[in-house]
A and B are shown apart, each in its own frame.
Chain A
């Protein structure tokens, strides 16, 4: 009994990292109808950045987080403004192709810089846990879940109550009326992509703190974000939390039952089911 509770707890805590990742993915999808296949590689890149900052400057990843967030925010803004905006009003296939290419470039860039070997962000606390009521709370994952709740709340407050947030929501509901209000859609999109890149970077740092990673690790992260986003609902502020917890628990329980050789089998299984059940439906814009 106790063992199973611990397993479920592990799943819940794993949901934090999954959820932060999906927070970014879902925002891009919900606002811009953009399915970003480079999403996972963005996160792995952020993990490498955190690793370098730790190794070279001795900067703790949590202290580096605001800096990495801002770097990715700026980079995402420029990327969207300069490149992605050029194809985003075309069909979905074009944006898929572009982000697929981006993923390819990023992954190879990382191989060039860091080799294809597995690396990790080695902090003293990376593998330690808190203990409470006889249960084990891995520090990094517990913090990830707390961060997810806080980030979801902040994102919701921003989207709901700020002038810019309202502009982002309006644009997600229709670009033509948004333009008629005087909004500059390319700017709204660049801001959205910048913000979600920053969030993706935070997710990537948490991933790097709790897993060994290589440049090829981005793909499964993208698939995970995709599944969590569908489970929680596209373009909702709290969906990533809900979806993250569901997938986290299913994954944890599933890998115990099926054995540890089958990591990700639940995620990919769910992906398959989703694609079979709603092959076209999932590609539509979120009904906000």
Chain B
């Protein structure tokens, strides 16, 4: 579905990603793991057309993405729930959700809105409230809901769990599995290797801007050096 080949990206004249290769098949949950500053967000921004690639290619369903504008990429069904959520804080929760459906012209937007409220009753209670006044967990639900409102085929999730209580993280990650069950392919970016790999089919490990490791989740979970590096376990 998505194939990234030999991708290099940077800011100004500083290279941040070196020769990245990554593939995602339809219906998969793929985890992308890496510590702070590894380049995870940079990769996702490049996928969304927010950063121009230096070299390499990004193909999605056979189409080259690397020179497309962000709105074209969104139209193709790729959606990012960005790190830090980036909600429209001065807008109500409902308006944020509707912004997610901005490009949609079909008649089922209302229906999907109700679906989001069923998924997140907390958002339903606060639909008229300004998004900036929500708690961290609620904001993350709103950001995820906003992405879902676009009916993405490929959903990119950037560190949803950042700063949230473990119970909310569990709930959100379990929901990701459910979303995949409904036909959405997911690229899950997380720092918590265990939580992510327990839900993902496969994983990639990004270190200092290079893809250092990849494989099926169980293999990565039992990989000794990873366990030492990320879980502090010997």
Binding site for B on A (CB under 8 A): 163, 166-167, 169-170, 173-174, 176-177, 179-184, 287-288
Task: Establish whether residues B88 and A169, one from each chain, have CB atoms under 8 Å apart when the complex forms.
Answer: yes
Extra inter-chain contacts (19) besides given A176-B86, A180-B74, CB under 8 Å: A166-B95, A169-B91, A170-B99, A173-B91, A174-B86, A176-B50, A177-B82, A177-B86, A177-B88, A179-B71, A180-B79, A181-B150, A182-B71, A182-B74, A182-B75, A182-B150, A183-B71, A184-B69, A184-B71
Kindly count the residue-residue contacts between A and B in the assembled complex, taking CB atoms under 8 Å apart: 58
Residues of A within 8 A of B75 (CB): 182
B31 at the interface (CB under 8 A from A): no
| Dominant SS among interface residues on chain B | loop
Distance of A219 Cα from B70 Cα, bound (Å): 39
Residues 162-176 of B at the A interface (beta carbon under 8 Å): none
Q: How many whole Å from A160's CB to the nearest CB in chain B?
A: 9
* B90 CB-CB contact with A under 8 Å: yes
Answer yes or no: B9 CB below 8 A from chain A CBs.
no
| A286, chain B: closest CB distance, angstroms | 9
| Residues in A whose Cβ lies below 8 Å from that of B87 | 177
Q: Given contacts A166-B95, A169-B91, is CB(A182)–CB(B86) below 8 Å?
A: no
B98: chain A residues at CB < 8 Å are 166
B89 at the interface (CB under 8 A from A): yes
Question: A-side binding surface: helix, strand, loop or mixed?
Answer: helix
Hey, what's the 0/1 contact readout for B71-102 against A, CB within 8 Å counting as 1?
10011000110100011111100010011101
Closest 4 CB pairs of A and B: A182-B74, A288-B90, A177-B86, A182-B103
B102 touches A167 (CB 8 A): yes
B48 proximal to A (CB < 8 A)? yes
Contact of A173 among B74, B89, B102, B103 (CB under 8 A): B89
Chain B residues packing against A (C-beta within 8 Å) = 48, 50, 69-71, 74-75, 79-80, 82, 86-91, 95, 98-100, 102-103, 146, 150
Report which of A169, A174, A176, A181 forms a contact with B102, defined as CB distance below 8 A. A181
- Across-interface contacts of A183 in B (CB, < 8 A): 71, 102
A166 vs B98: C-alpha distance in the bound complex, in angstroms? 9
B80 cross-chain contacts in A, Cβ below 8 A: 180
A167-B102, A170-B99 are known contacts. Are A179 and B88 too (CB-CB below 8 A)? no
CB distance from B192 to the nearest CB of A (A): 24
Closest to A287 in B: B90
* Chain B positions within 8 Å of A182 at CB level: 70-71, 74-75, 102-103, 150
User: Do residues B74 and A170 form an inter-chain contact, with CB atoms below 8 A?
Assistant: no
Chain A residue nearest to B89 in the complex (CB): A173
Q: Is the CB of A180 within 8 A of B48?
A: yes
Q: Name the residue among B69, B71, B80, B150 with the largest chain A CB count within 10 angstroms.
A: B71
Instruction: Give every chain B residue within 8 A of A169 (Cβ-Cβ).
Output: 88, 90-91
Expressed in whole angstroms, the Cα–Cα distance for A179 and B69 within the complex equals 9
CB distance from B85 to the nearest CB of A (A): 9
Q: Please measure, in the bound complex, the distance between the C-alpha atom of A187 and the C-alpha atom of B95, giving whole angstroms.
A: 21
- A sample of 5 cross-chain residue pairs with beta-carbon separation below 8 angstroms, ordered by A number, consists of A167-B102, A170-B91, A179-B50, A180-B48, A181-B146
Across the interface, name the chain A residue whose C-beta is closest to B104.
Answer: A182
**Bound CA–CA A83/B226 (angstroms):** 52
A234 → chain B closest CB, angstroms: 13
CA distance A86 to B74 in the complex (A): 24
- A163 proximity list for chain B (CB < 8 A): 102
Complex: how many Å from CA A182 to CA B147?
11
Bound form: Cα–Cα A288–B89 in Å:
8
CB <8 Å contact, B74 and A181: yes
Nearest residue, chain A, Cβ from B48: A180
CB pair A173 B90 closer than 8 Å: yes
Q: Which chain A residue shows the least CB distance to B70? A: A179
Q: Known contacts A176-B50, A176-B82; decide if A181 and B99 are in contact (CB<8 Å).
A: yes
Interchain CB contact (< 8 A) of B99 among A166, A184, A287, A288:
A166
Return chain A residues, CB-CB under 8 Å to B74: 180-182
- Bound state CA distance, A169 and B89, in angstroms? 11
Q: A288 to chain B: which residues have CB within 8 Å?
A: 90
Which A residues lie within 8 Å of B150 (CB)? 181-182
